[in-house]
Amino acid sequence: MLFVICGIIMPILFIIYNIIYYLKRKVIYTIKDKNFIIIDDRFFKIQLSLSLVNAIFVSIVVYAWDKYNLKFGLLFFMLIYWGINYSIKYIGILKKYAEIRNNI
């Protein structure tokens, strides 16, 4: 049951959410910040691509967690999910598709 909910349903919903945000040209909730400014629309392609990778990795981790009864399954799940989400922001800044502006 864990795999069905966390390994199939959640990733599918996450993919749908990311496709909608890609089409609307919005930053996903997990990395949204009022100081985070998108400079180049190519950022949204990176966001969508890495979110798809994230959904696949999460499914694999949850499958392994469920099948092999991994003790640290939740930790791996959270590390992958949040790690990839924050890497979207980091890669966007490195490629100069986005920046963080400090309002003083």
pTM: 0.87
Helix (H) or strand (E) holding 18: helix 10-24
What is the Cα–Cα distance from 10 to 47, expressed in whole angstroms? 17
Predicted local distance difference test score (pLDDT) of residue 5: 78
For residue range 39-87, list pLDDT tens digits in order. Answer: 999 999 999 999 999 999 999 988 888 888 888 888 998 999 999 999 9
pLDDT at 4 over 80: no
Range 92-101 average pLDDT:
95
CA quadruple 81, 84, 89, 90: dihedral sign: positive
pLDDT at 102 over 90: no
Mean pLDDT of the chain: 91
pLDDT at 104 over 70: no
What is the Cα–Cα distance from 87 to 80, expressed in whole angstroms? 10
